[in-house]
Amino acid sequence: MEKVIIIRYAEIHLKGKNRGYFERVFSVNLEKSLKGIRHELRRMSGRYLVAAFAEEDAEEIERRIARVFGVHSYSRGYLTESDMESIVAAATRVCPQTGTFKVDTHRGDKKYPLTSMQLNAEVGAKLLEAYPALKVDVHTPEGCVYLDIRDGGKTLVFGSFEAGANGMPVGTSGKGLLLISGGIDSPVAGYMMAKRGMNVSYLHFHSYPYTNEQAKDKVVTLARILSRYTGEGSLMTVSVTHIQEEIHKKCAAELNVTLLRRFMFRIAERIAKKTGAQCLITGESLGQVASQTIEGMTSSNAVVTLPVLRPLVGFDKEEIIVRAKQIGTFETSVLPYEDCCTVFLPEFPAIKPKLSFIEAEEGKLDVASLVEEAVGTLERIAF
């Protein structure tokens, strides 16, 4: 009998002949998440087992596993031989000693001589002998003993299922560049794309000295929190101070934010193509602010050729806040440090700007030179 943590994957089982590729990436991601902890990771016909770990590391292992995309559920239990004596010995360790219980068997090895119902009855009877204070309740038991009969004469025995992060393994759905601000929305957008298997890197625009170093540090912290889910990555920062000053001096005030976002998209596309990213990701939600109307989004899309993914487009603010709290970014996002979009913010920003008006105002600027100067300020922070 061996202590193990059992990992079951989510959508990978739907991948048919390509499943091997997804399993390999999933395995690599699990290993990365457990870096620094002594363990063995084994594959077992649709399951992964973490074994050979110290008991004091078990909770930390579970915390890390719970953040790996592709994990459907996990359980702490035992790997044992499939004979009745060994199964019962393991079952007594996970079974409650009082109250109500049931035995629930999954018979992955269809050649096993006993059916699931027979196993439930026989193991249940042995447990009642071992713990006389127990009672059987197959409908609403206070505790369960789960038996997973696997091929090769092995059985997994455990007492509960813990929910994983679900989704697809990071790295199986291409690479995207997240435009990350210090706000609530963009970190959640990055999380959601990573959950669909996308490898996410980060780009932050700042307006120093109008915004301070604390605002930049806040974004670094957000990126580090996200890296718990997305794995190792890099944060890139770019200054747009000079662009905002030019827009403020030469263009209609109501277009300040709209024009700035068009520059951001141009710069982001340049950097994305250099770094191998295949799309841009933003935290925009339709109608949430003036620049996030369909007209504003269309204006931004018009200056790039890469696809722009907006995973929060149909979310309201409360839904986004709930998700931010779940993933641990909310407390950092609400720290009171302003981002570049608050600099030169007009009193009445355009809600439905016409593209012809936007292009006419933008014609007052040397767009190519401003973009080139911004790209020249690029800095990288690896983590």
Give the model's pLDDT for residue 84. Answer: 95
Whether pTM > 0.85 for this model: the answer is yes
Residue 117, domain CATH? 3.30.2130.30
Q: Do 317 and 283 fall within a single domain?
A: yes
Angle between helices 256-275 and 294-301 (to 10 degrees): 40
Q: Do 120 and 244 fall within a single domain?
A: no
Within a domain: 170:
no
CA distances (Å), origin 189, targets 200, 205, 302, 339, 353: 10, 17, 21, 17, 25
Tell me the C-alpha distance between 223 and 225, whole Å: 5
Per the structure, the count of domains in the chain is 2
Using DSSP, state whether 104 is helix, strand or coil: strand
Rg (CA), the chain: 27
Within a domain: 49:
yes
The dihedrals phi and psi of 58, each to the nearest 5 degrees, come to -60, -45
Q: Do 151 and 59 fall within a single domain?
A: yes
Residues of the chain short of pLDDT 50, as ranges, are: none
Give the model's pLDDT for residue 291. Answer: 77
Rounded to 5 degrees, what angle do the CA atoms 312, 318, 320 make? 30
Residue 140, domain extent:
2-163
Give the model's pLDDT for residue 340. Answer: 55
Give the model's pLDDT for residue 12. Answer: 87
Nearest to 362 by CA among 262, 238, 254: 262
Give the model's pLDDT for residue 352. Answer: 82
